[in-house]
Amino acid sequence: MDDFDVKQKTEAQSHYLSRLQKLKAHHSVCESRYEKTQTKILNDERERTLFFHHNLNTALTKEMLGHHTDSISTIASSEEEFVPASSEASSDESSERRPNTGSKKRGKEAAGSSSLECRAVPNTIFWAPELR
């Protein structure tokens, strides 16, 4: 009977060993396919964003060399940080709104020009066309 148990154990071990080898082979095939796909995706992403990286590097190099250009982001931040001088603040009463009586109508000369008003939002100032 011991002979039967040994024979059964060796068959089971060989079965598990062959199963393990098949699993390793399958895993290596899947892993190589995954790595190939990931490499392709990464290269495509690099090609797609190469233009942006080049522009960023150029901008950083110019900044280091002292070339100053006004970009949209610097213009926008400078407008947000604008604080009028004290003489402008005392003479300019534009923050108080007069009630609209409706008696005045706009003429043709005002129709072509755009009127802007400043609306205060906490911690920001932005310009928007006046809505009527």
Confidence bin at 111 (pLDDT 50/70/90): very low
Confidence bin at 25 (pLDDT 50/70/90): very high
What is the rounded average pLDDT of the residues 24-46?
A: 96
Task: Give Cα separations from 91 to 1, 24, 88 (angstroms).
Answer: 112, 82, 5
Sign (positive or negative) of CA dihedral 52, 56, 61, 67: positive
Domain residues of the chain, as ranges? 1-79
Q: Report the candidate in 61, 42, 60 with the shortest Cα–Cα distance to residue 50.
A: 42
CA max distance for the chain: 115
